[in-house]
């Protein structure tokens, strides 16, 4: 099954001033409760407290006595380590950060100036582990793209639009995408940082540095080693995709967003709606005849194998502690996702 982990972010500076009520609680490390706050309860009676269960619930809201605080290392231990193991063992794997705008996806995946996020930690540890394998031939390649307004751009290239096509086995690929051979984590980090500089972000009313595009970093690892048990040469090839989505957002006419931000927002929402539709169909255990509309958005088309095929996939659902409606919608989305089962294989020759 797709493994789903929830992370509750702390209050942002501009939120602290208003001292809002925290609407979420983590009562065990696997369950999260969302409550309508006092004000909301009076205003709208139909809102109820709801409990959701996930593989893990990570608390980054505050440091309190009875709930362990989840820092960036905790995310790595809970999600990254397993993905690293999968990649080294020849499985395709994928981590997707999902959640409303400003909920902490980019912070979780990339990190901040002070602290590395999941992606830099995974890259570092990957090379550490690969360097320990003295008896095998190893090749690592990276590519980094963004999907902006339903177009693919190479974050490590010259910024031109790229086309998505399908090969004879109906696997989507990006034509003319740059893939770089990397031999250590410094080189990988350099490329990652170059890509991040090229990524489209902008200030919105909800997030100072809002990602206006979905980004996908793909690390492909090929290993060749001699297996003494069978006397043969074994080749393993796996890819690890690290996905930082753009956040969903609601429009309020009075927000005064300019045309570009609005158009970006509606396209972001469109691909997230498609992602939601695809995940819902997949969670209902489709049969051979079910049509899954992967091709309705570039995002789902490129992630087809990761959400409905040969990949060990995790989702990190990021939530705000003070937004009942958006958090409820993210938790429901995450619950649907957790029902999806993939068929995984070791990619071995």
Q: Which residues bind Mg ion (CB under 5 A)?
A: 105-106, 211
Out of 1, 73, 112, 290, the only residue in the binding site for ligand ATP (CB under 6 A) is 112
Q: Which does 238 bind (CB under 5 to 8 A by kind): ligand ATP, Mg ion, none?
A: none
| Tokens linked to 50 | 């709801």
For residue 321, the tally of other CB atoms under 10 A from its CB is 22
> How near is the Cβ of 106 to Mg ion at its closest, in Å?
3
Cα–Cα distance, 59 to 74 (Å, whole number):
10
| Tokens linked to 261 | 């931000």
Type and span of the H or E element at 260: helix 259-283
Cα–Cα distance, 32 to 104 (Å, whole number):
17
Q: Tell me: does residue 320 bind ligand ATP (CB under 6 A).
A: no
Out of 86, 93, 106, 313, the only residue in the binding site for ligand ATP (CB under 6 A) is 106
CB 299 within 8 A of CB 274: yes
Out of 143, 210, 300, 330, the only residue in the binding site for ligand ATP (CB under 6 A) is 210
Nearer to ligand ATP, 247 or 308 (CB): 247
Q: Which does 214 bind (CB under 5 to 8 A by kind): ligand ATP, Mg ion, none?
A: none
Q: Which does 318 bind (CB under 5 to 8 A by kind): Mg ion, ligand ATP, none?
A: ligand ATP
Q: Tell me: does residue 321 bind ligand ATP (CB under 6 A).
A: no
Q: Tell me: does residue 266 bind ligand ATP (CB under 6 A).
A: no
Out of 36, 80, 90, 104, the only residue in the binding site for ligand ATP (CB under 6 A) is 104
Cα–Cα distance, 210 to 311 (Å, whole number):
29
- Cβ-count burial 200-228 (b if 16+ within 10 Å, e if not): beeebebbeebbbbbbbbbbbbbbeeeee
- The answer for residues whose C-beta is within 8 angstroms of residue 211's C-beta and 6 or more apart is 105, 106, 199, 200, 201, 244, 245, 246, 247
> How near is the Cβ of 189 to ligand ATP at its closest, in Å?
19
Nearer to Mg ion, 208 or 348 (CB): 208
Q: Which does 313 bind (CB under 5 to 8 A by kind): Mg ion, ligand ATP, none?
A: none
Q: Tell me: does residue 86 bind ligand ATP (CB under 6 A).
A: no
Nearer to Mg ion, 105 or 304 (CB): 105
Q: Tell me: does residue 107 bind ligand ATP (CB under 6 A).
A: yes
- Cβ-count burial 87-119 (b if 16+ within 10 Å, e if not): bbebbbbbbbbbbbbbbbbbbbbbbeeeebbbb
Q: Which does 99 bind (CB under 5 to 8 A by kind): Mg ion, ligand ATP, none?
A: ligand ATP
- Cβ-count burial 120-141 (b if 16+ within 10 Å, e if not): bbbbbebbeebeeeeeeeeebe
Nearer to ligand ATP, 262 or 290 (CB): 262
Which among 18-26, 29-37, 139-147, 203-211 is the span making contact with ligand ATP, rule CB under 6 A? 203-211
Nearer to Mg ion, 211 or 218 (CB): 211
Longest dimension (CA), the chain: 72
Q: Which does 209 bind (CB under 5 to 8 A by kind): Mg ion, ligand ATP, none?
A: ligand ATP
CA angle 298, 301, 307 (to 5 degrees): 125
> How near is the Cβ of 264 to Mg ion at its closest, in Å?
13
Q: Tell me: does residue 9 bind ligand ATP (CB under 6 A).
A: yes
Residues in the chain: 349
Name the residues that contact ligand ATP, by CB under 6 A: 9-10, 12, 60, 99, 101-107, 112, 207, 209-211, 246-247, 318
């Amino acid at each position: 099954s797709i493994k789903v982990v929830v992370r509750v972010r702390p209050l942002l500076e501009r939120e602290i001033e208003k001292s809002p009520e925290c609407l979420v609680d983590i009562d065990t490390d696997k369950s999260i409760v969302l409550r309508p706050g006092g004000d909301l309860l009076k205003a709208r009676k139909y809102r109820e407290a709801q409990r959701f269960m996930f593989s893990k619930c990570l608390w980054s809201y505050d440091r309190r006595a009875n709930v362990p605080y989840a820092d960036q290392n905790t995310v790595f231990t809970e999600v990254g380590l397993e993905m690293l193991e999968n990649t080294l063992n020849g499985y395709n794997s994928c981590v997707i950060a999902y959640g409303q705008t400003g909920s902490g996806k980019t912070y979780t995946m990339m990190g901040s100036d002070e602290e590395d996020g999941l992606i830099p930690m995974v890259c570092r540890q990957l090379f550490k582990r690969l360097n320990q394998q003295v008896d095998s031939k190893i090749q690592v390649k990276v590519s980094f793209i963004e999907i902006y307004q339903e177009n693919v751009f190479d974050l490590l290239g010259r910024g031109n639009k790229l086309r998505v096509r399908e090969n004879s086995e109906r696997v989507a690929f990006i034509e003319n995408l740059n893939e770089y051979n990397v031999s250590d984590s410094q080189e990988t980090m350099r490329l990652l940082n170059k890509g991040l500089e090229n990524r489209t972000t902008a200030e919105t009313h909800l997030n100072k540095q809002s990602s206006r595009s979905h980004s996908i970093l793909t690390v492909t690892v090929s290993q060749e080693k001699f297996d003494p048990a069978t006397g043969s040469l074994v080749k393993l090839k796996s890819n690890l995709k690290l996905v930082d989505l753009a956040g969903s957002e609601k429009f309020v006419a009075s927000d005064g967003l300019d045309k570009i931000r609005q158009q970006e927002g509606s396209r972001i929402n469109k691909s997230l709606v498609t992602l939601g539709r695809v995940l819902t169909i997949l969670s209902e255990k489709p049969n051979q005849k079910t049509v899954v509309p992967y091709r309705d958005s570039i995002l789902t088309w490129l992630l087809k194998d990761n959400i409905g095929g040969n990949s060990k996939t995790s989702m990190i659902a990021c939530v705000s502690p003070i937004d009942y409606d958006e958090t409820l919608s993210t938790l429901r989305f995450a619950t649907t996702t957790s029902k999806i089962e993939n068929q995984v294989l070791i990619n071995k020759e």
